[in-house]
Chains A and B, each alone.
Chain A
Amino acid sequence: MARNPLNKGQAIVILGLVLLLMIFITIIPLLLTVGLNPVYSKQSTLSYSQLLSQKNLQLLEIEEGNPEITVSTQGDAVYLNFNYFGQITPITIDHILYYSNGQWKPAYPSNITVSGDTTLSLYVPPGYQGFIDIVTDLGNSLYLPVSTAGGLTTCANIYNVSSGEVYLGTQPLPVGTIIITPQPNQLPNLVHGIDATLPKGTIIIENGKEIKLPAPQELNTINGVVIQKCFTSGWYPISNFLTAYQSDNYTGTVISPNSPNNPSLQSQTLVQWFIASGNIEPIVIHVTNNPQPPSNNVHYLSNTPPEGGYIVWSGDAGLIVGSGLIVGNGQNAGNPGNSNPYYLAFTVQLKNGSWETIVDPKPIGQGQESPLTLAVGSYDEGSGTMSLYINDTLVSTVKLGSLQLNNTLSAFMDAGSASNSTSTTSYLNGIEGNVNTRGSPLYSFNGTLGPTIIYDVSLPGSEIQEIYQGKIPSSQDVVVLWSQNMVLQIGGAYKVPNLADPGLFDGYWGLGAGSPTAFSPSSDIIIWGGGAPLILNPNILFLNSNQQINITIESQGLLTPIVPGYYKFVVNFSDPTPGPGGTQPGPGGTPEYVTVYINGEKIYEGTNENQGSINTFNYYLSQPVNITTYFTFTLASNQQNPEIYFNLMWMPPGSTSFEPIPLSSLTPFFE
């Protein structure tokens, strides 16, 4: 049978069309799928490893100061500063944020590329003191504290009526009234313009009357201010036990033999809390010219160091307390028998070996002991400005012109005494710690010492005021911080660690004749653990017999590890005290209770009654964490001299012993 060629052609065409249809049927859905998928916009030509490398390099450069990024304040304004200390590498900042009232908010309206030293004024509330977060275009996120204060925000459950009209219900509460809530954080840090509710059990101490609220009651602060007892540069330990009592005239504390003898400073600020008591040599300045009556804003030149009680001696500058003030040109013009009133002076030794001294001719209080006082002396090398502050007030300042200080490495830095020489000399050698050498009465203090802080810069008056309020401003410039409420027993020696940089410029109590004799000599309960004290006067708190009061101190801040890894922590409720006569706190005294939270999780809780069992815990730290501790102690009316102590120390990875947590690893939170 013959085939029809036309039909065969048609069949081939039809087959072809069918095949095409089949191909389309198969491909079209795939094409549609590909077309409709929101394919990730084509990746940049940089590979992941290149991006990561750039990101890490940017972080490294910032850490090396290219640029150094800091936040500073001037008045209430807040500035973000970029300063280059090497090759300029531009950096683009995409976001600048601040935190307030539970919210992160923009602190600058746009992104910005920085290619040289730059200062930005930030859009933050006046006086903002929280954190600034900046995010770079390479995804690096940096947290920067506005204030350079180090340490923890530490507050007690104690509030004071500060000003205005405050009412408890309808009853007016005068300024000075103390309010102690049963728990911390039951009122804001600053209560103003609101009706707050005081919980049941709140204690009100007003004009010698002490009442305990049987039920919640309204606190009206519409026209008044109530302020919580806080300081913003707290550290561990917290105790009333910190104060170093100098035995008569015969003690010295100084540098470890393994450290340089002193921090070798030109510009410097010396900060020392103290209570003077008993016999101290008067401040005697053997001037080279005709003696003048002591006066403010006058500098006195001498060839020998002024005599008197050196509360702190940096190696070429010292703060001196004396039971009298004499400017003369005779030898040993002083009278060591005097006990009050006490005076304050600040002296420096110049490069040529002579001495310049400024004084406050007004005495510090009257009576057998001085009030708790903050003494600050500063020297600025550039202008030769010497300044002396008592508490937060500038009492004397002079300009010497640009003069260098002696800066000898042979002198030992000291607190409490500056020489063992028994005669007037032309220099002060200090006294090496951990020795049996007594200080000379001619240069030794007698009384109580609170924290010793030494800066390697001359601080402005505004920052001295901050110290008095409990901050440690410019904490990056602190070279020595002896909290004076902690001693670590190292073999037969007693070490006062330098919380600014543990291991360098640690202090050592002298032994034997150089030992201090008491650690909590004051009848007042002075709670330390920060740049300023929380003072509790038991005469006020113990009015009612059989009354117990719980005081809770909350410390909170950012804990930054030194290196990533597992850290072991230890909680202590007691501290060894050096020397004969030293008080020894421990279990059975004041009931103490501690809880520790890290990132909101309760990590530890314990009391001084179970210390020695489980008082350690481990935590892996790879980045900064929020650390919060609550330390509660009970004061009872029958306790005349309670011993209060709580310490938290850590053992960093690779370390074999517990160490104090340095101030540089603690950053306060501000809310």
Chain B
Amino acid sequence: MSSTSVSEFMLVVIALALGIALFAITETILVPEYSFAAALQDSKTIASVTSVTVGPPIQSGNNLVYLAYIYSPEYKGNFSVVIFCVPQTQLQSLALLTPSIQGNPTVFLIGQSDTPAKQTTLNNVYDLNSRQLTGTITGFAVPANTPFQFAVAPPSGDAVVMWVIYTVGSYNFRVAYTFEG
């Protein structure tokens, strides 16, 4: 093998090594960063035009029944809702509260009362400031722009909090939240 061939081969090897290194960097750093940033941007767009309405509770046995509605024009997909209870004294830090007592909520889609809303497992929920709020929690899939109801039995002195979660790829963002009580 001539020295020229050797140097060309070395060049190719170096180039390939560089390519592989670049690929690895792209896959492990750039793609997730970009993907998260893109998902966050989508979530912020969604959040900017999403509003949540929760009606007054109606007592039904031990439960309080709420009618809720997530208004998000143009979006045809599902959101996940996470419902939990917090002491009313903590409501001043509502944005920072995370689920600890879920109060066994049940969620039904209107007109399909025999079929509860599908439960979803949500890994790592973030807020719109990219801060991770929770690890794995359980939510319920509900369609946008369609009323649904949930029933919950909050402990005495607790308020009921509802998060609205938007899922992009593998990322879950809390795009809205509200409370009752």
Contact = CB atoms under 8 A, between A and B. Distances in A.
Nearest to A7: B4
B42 A37 contact: yes
Given A30-B26, A43-B49, A139-B51, A558 B147 contact: no
B135 interface: no
Interface string B135-177: 0000000000111010100101110000000001100000000
Interface in B43-64: 45-46, 48-49, 51, 53, 55-61, 63-64
Contacts of B4: 4, 7
Contact of A601 (B60, B63, B77, B88): B88
Interface in A30-46: 30, 33-34, 36-44, 46
Given A38-B168, A97-B67, A26 B11 contact: no
Interface in A316-331: none
B94 interface: no
B147 A628 contact: no
Interface size of A as a range? 35 or more
B57 A599 contact: yes
B121 interface: no
A41 B166 CA distance: 13
A26 B69 contact: no
A571 to B, nearest CB: 18
Contact of B59 (A11, A34, A94, A628): A628
Interface in A592-610: 598-602
B58 A99 contact: yes
Nearest to B35: A33
Given A11-B8, A104-B110, A44 B73 contact: yes
A104 B15 contact: no
Contact of B56 (A40, A135, A624): A624
Contacts of A105: 110-111, 113
A106 B111 contact: yes
A102 B48 CA distance: 33
Contact of A556 (B48, B59, B113): B59
B5 to A, nearest CB: 8
A408 B102 CA distance: 63
B97 interface: no
Contact of A36 (B51, B147, B169): B169
A94 B146 CA distance: 9
B88 A102 contact: no
Contact of B38 (A26, A39, A133, A139): A39
Given A15-B11, A139-B53, A601 B154 contact: yes
Contacts of A106: 110-111
A4 B151 CA distance: 82
A598 B51 CA distance: 25
A326 to B, nearest CB: 55
Contacts of A72: none
Given A11-B8, A33-B31, A38-B168, A558 B56 contact: yes
A124 to B, nearest CB: 14
A51 interface: yes
B interface bracket (residues with beta carbon within 8 Å of A): 35 or more
A570 interface: no
B84 interface: no
B45 to A, nearest CB: 6
Contacts of B60: 101-102
Interface stretch (A17-25, A244-252, A367-375, A493-501): A17-25
Contacts of A625: 56
Contact of B57 (A55, A95, A626): A626
B31 A104 contact: no
Interface in A361-401: none
A669 interface: yes
A30 B31 contact: yes
Nearest to A669: B58
B66 to A, nearest CB: 9
- Kindly name the residue among A30, A41, A135, A599 whose own CB sees the greatest number of chain B CB atoms within 10 A: A599
A600 B23 contact: no
A564 B71 CA distance: 23
Contact of B55 (A19, A55, A94, A133): A133
Contact of B74 (A44, A94, A103, A133): A44
Contact of B23 (A29, A42, A103, A133): A29
Interface in B1-46: 4, 8, 11-12, 15-16, 18-20, 22-23, 26-27, 30-31, 34-35, 38-39, 42, 45-46
B56 to A, nearest CB: 5
Given A15-B15, A39-B42, A143 B56 contact: yes
A101 B151 CA distance: 13
B126 interface: no
A548 interface: no
Contacts of B56: 143, 558, 599, 623-626
B55 A30 contact: no
B8 A14 contact: yes
A555 B43 CA distance: 44
A25 B23 CA distance: 5
A22 B57 contact: no
A10 interface: yes
B25 to A, nearest CB: 8
Contact of B26 (A4, A21, A29, A39): A29
Contacts of B75: 40-41
Nearest to B160: A599
18 contacts: A21-B15, A22-B19, A30-B34, A36-B169, A41-B74, A44-B49, A48-B49, A55-B51, A55-B71, A94-B145, A95-B110, A135-B147, A138-B71, A139-B71, A143-B55, A599-B56, A600-B64, A600-B154
Given A18-B12, A39-B42, A55-B51, 9 more contacts: A40-B42, A42-B74, A43-B49, A106-B110, A141-B69, A599-B56, A600-B57, A601-B158, A625-B56
Q: Nearest 10 CB-CB pairs, A to B?
A: A139-B71, A18-B15, A102-B60, A25-B23, A22-B19, A599-B181, A141-B53, A48-B48, A40-B42, A103-B113
